[in-house]
């Protein structure tokens, strides 16, 4: 076997065998295959695609470059949840404690934000002292004690993904369905949970701009799971508007805490409810939907989910006090109101543009090396479907970079579209794929 001929084969649109794919991935992981050959291979995949079998084989080859966590023997009801990335997506900080409070074990590895999308790890680091780097022993001990831990992706699981992702990032080969699916699923499967619920975002603020593409991505991820012995459920959810009322790290942690205190916006509630229900049913905690809905509401109303979040924060080195008193979080030095330039119903607030504006204010990274400002972001005061008057405050910019407020205000106002009649509300959930 040689790399040249395998690249040529894919370039010509032929199907590669499992051993051919393994050859390329293994050698790239070890350093024997150079970046330029992997780049050419990735580009060939972008143009030619991959069959379902090839995508499963690619995922398997990626998993086999590292360890596989064996947690299934130790824990019943082990579940994992993953989002393909969105704007204002606080769901992991809400859903994980809800289902853990209901008796599931959530062993979650999260990522950082990049570009206009946020990352759970950055949000958690809004809590002073919070440690995302637990040893394996500490991770397992915490799962035994409280059933919930959220940590950074360890470099031992599917390590080739990190190398491939960095290469894809600079060779314009990120947006390929087989590459995205294998990247996500290799990490999820190596992390060991037998039940995985995926939140596949659709719309301007996400990778997948159309329902058809999101469905393809969801389908292949479910198939990969099935082929490798996992139960995977994909929830297709709307990402045309920012999720909830907050975009930015501290702002979203506070939003998650407010949610667990019973104060939430409808779109965020619908999504968190659905993800939690799917997890509870998949884990065998509930048989029927109605039962799962009741359980989720009970975990919120009783503050059991809030207490679970607080336990996790304390065990990972943070202070519970922040969870019970959000006024302790620092706020940005400049909070600038954005006033509506129109009168009418808000038809939509474009998630991508708001994500970009929040990033400019300091909430996100343009490149992996950028530092983020945990205090920065955007708070929405009005959402799609609300009626607003000209001059009414519709959002707040939170920033420590006052020079950014004028351009970001313009960007935000561009993101808002109006209509004269009350628009139909868009459902948060588009489809469930199992």
Strands 377-380 and 344-349: unpaired
Residues known to be catalytic: 82, 161, 168, 183, 187
- Min dist CB 180 to ligand URA, Å, is 4
- Residue 430: is it exposed, middle or buried by C-beta count within 10 angstroms (0-12/13-18/19+)? buried
165 versus 269: smaller Cβ distance to ligand URA: 165
b/e per residue, 90-114, with b = 16+ CB within 10 A? bbbbbbbbbbbbbebbbbbbbbbbb
Cα separation, 98 vs 197, in Å, equals 14
Cα separation, 281 vs 178, in Å, equals 28
Among residue numbers 209 through 268, which ones bind Ca ion (CB under 5 A)? 243-244, 246
Binding mask 318-337 for Ca ion (x = CB under 5 A): --------------------
Size of the site for Ca ion (CB under 5 A): 5
Binding mask 210-249 for ligand URA (x = CB under 6 A): ----------------------------------------
Block residue for tokens 């990972």: 316
Q: Is-contact 189 68, C-beta < 8 A?
A: yes
168 versus 379: smaller Cβ distance to Ca ion: 379
88 versus 348: smaller Cβ distance to ligand URA: 88
Phi, psi angles (nearest 5°) of residue 198: -105, 135
- Min dist CB 253 to Ca ion, Å, is 10
Helix/strand number for the chain, H first, E second: 17, 13
157 versus 306: smaller Cβ distance to ligand URA: 157
- Min dist CB 319 to ligand URA, Å, is 30
Binding mask 120-159 for ligand URA (x = CB under 6 A): ----------------------------------------
Consecutive H or E run containing 221: helix 211-227
Q: Does residue 88 touch Ca ion according to CB under 5 A?
A: yes
Residue 195 neighbours by CB distance under 10 Å = 21
By a kind-dependent CB cut-off of 5 to 8 A, residue 184 interacts, out of ligand URA, Ca ion, none, with ligand URA
85 versus 86: smaller Cβ distance to ligand URA: 85
Cα separation, 187 vs 162, in Å, equals 10
The one-character DSSP state at 374 is T
Size (the chain), residues:
434
The runs of H, that is alpha helices, within 65-135 are 91-101, 120-124
Query: Using CB atoms, what's the residue nearest to ligand URA?
Result: 183
By a kind-dependent CB cut-off of 5 to 8 A, residue 345 interacts, out of ligand URA, Ca ion, none, with none
Tokens of 386: 């609300």
Binding mask 177-196 for ligand URA (x = CB under 6 A): --xx--xx------------
Residues 6+ apart with CB under 8 A from 290: none
Block residue for tokens 């989910």: 305
- Min dist CB 246 to Ca ion, Å, is 4
- Min dist CB 183 to ligand URA, Å, is 3
- Min dist CB 252 to Ca ion, Å, is 5
Cα separation, 361 vs 384, in Å, equals 22
- Min dist CB 136 to ligand URA, Å, is 21
Tokens of 354: 């708001």
Task: Tell me which stretch binds ligand URA (CB under 6 A): 43-51, 176-184, 214-222, 295-303.
Answer: 176-184
Write the CA distances from 91 to 246, 252, 259, 397, integer angstroms.
12, 10, 10, 22
Among residue numbers 80 through 99, which ones bind ligand URA (CB under 6 A)? 84-85
Task: Tell me which stretch binds Ca ion (CB under 5 A): 81-89, 103-111, 279-287, 292-300.
Answer: 81-89
- Note the residues at the interface with ligand URA (CB under 6 A): 84-85, 165, 179-180, 183-184
- Note the residues at the interface with Ca ion (CB under 5 A): 88, 90, 243-244, 246
């Amino acid at each position: 076997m040689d790399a040249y001929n395998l690249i040529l084969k894919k370039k010509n649109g032929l199907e590669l065998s499992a051993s051919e794919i393994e050859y390329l991935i293994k050698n790239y992981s070890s350093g024997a295959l150079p970046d330029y050959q992997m780049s050419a291979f990735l580009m060939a995949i972008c143009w030619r695609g991959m069959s379902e079998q090839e995508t499963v084989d690619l995922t398997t080859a990626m998993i086999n470059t590292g360890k596989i966590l064996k947690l299934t023997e130790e824990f019943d009801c082990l579940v994992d949840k993953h989002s393909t990335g969105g704007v204002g997506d606080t769901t992991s900080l809400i859903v994980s404690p809800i289902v853990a409070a209901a008796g599931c074990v959530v062993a979650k590895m999260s990522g950082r934000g990049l570009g206009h999308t946020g990352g759970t790890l950055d949000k958690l680091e809004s809590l002073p002292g919070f440690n995302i780097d637990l040893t394996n022993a500490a991770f397992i001990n915490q799962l035994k004690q409280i059933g919930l831990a959220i940590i950074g992706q360890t470099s031992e699981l599917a390590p080739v993904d990190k190398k491939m992702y960095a290469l894809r990032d600079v060779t314009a080969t990120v947006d390929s369905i087989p590459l995205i699916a294998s990247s996500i699923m290799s990490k999820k499967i190596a992390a060991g949970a037998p039940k995985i619920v995926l939140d596949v975002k659709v719309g301007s603020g996400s990778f997948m701009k159309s329902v058809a593409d999101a469905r393809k991505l969801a389908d292949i991820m479910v198939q990969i799971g099935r082929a490798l012995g996992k139960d995977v459920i994909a929830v297709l959810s709307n990402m045309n508007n920012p999720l909830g009322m907050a975009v930015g790290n501290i702002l979203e942690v506070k939003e998650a805490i407010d949610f667990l205190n019973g104060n939430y916006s409808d779109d965020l509630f619908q999504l968190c409810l659905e993800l939690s229900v799917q997890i509870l049913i998949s884990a065998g905690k509930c048989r029927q939907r109605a039962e799962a809905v009741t359980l989720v509401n009970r975990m919120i109303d009783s503050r059991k989910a809030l207490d679970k979040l607080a336990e996790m924060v304390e065990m990972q080195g943070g202070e519970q006090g922040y969870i019970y008193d959000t006024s302790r979080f620092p706020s940005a030095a400049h909070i600038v109101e954005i006033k509506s330039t129109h009168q009418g119903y808000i038809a939509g607030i474009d998630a991508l543009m708001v994500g970009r504006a929040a990033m400019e204010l300091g909430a996100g990274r343009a490149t992996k090396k950028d530092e983020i400002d945990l205090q920065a972001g955007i708070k929405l005061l009005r959402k799609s479907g609300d009626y607003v008057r000209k001059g009414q405050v519709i959002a707040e910019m939170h920033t420590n970079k006052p020079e950014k407020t004028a351009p970001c205000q313009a960007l935000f106002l561009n993101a808002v579209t109006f209509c004269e009649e009350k628009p139909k509300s868009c459902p948060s959930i588009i489809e469930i794929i199992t």
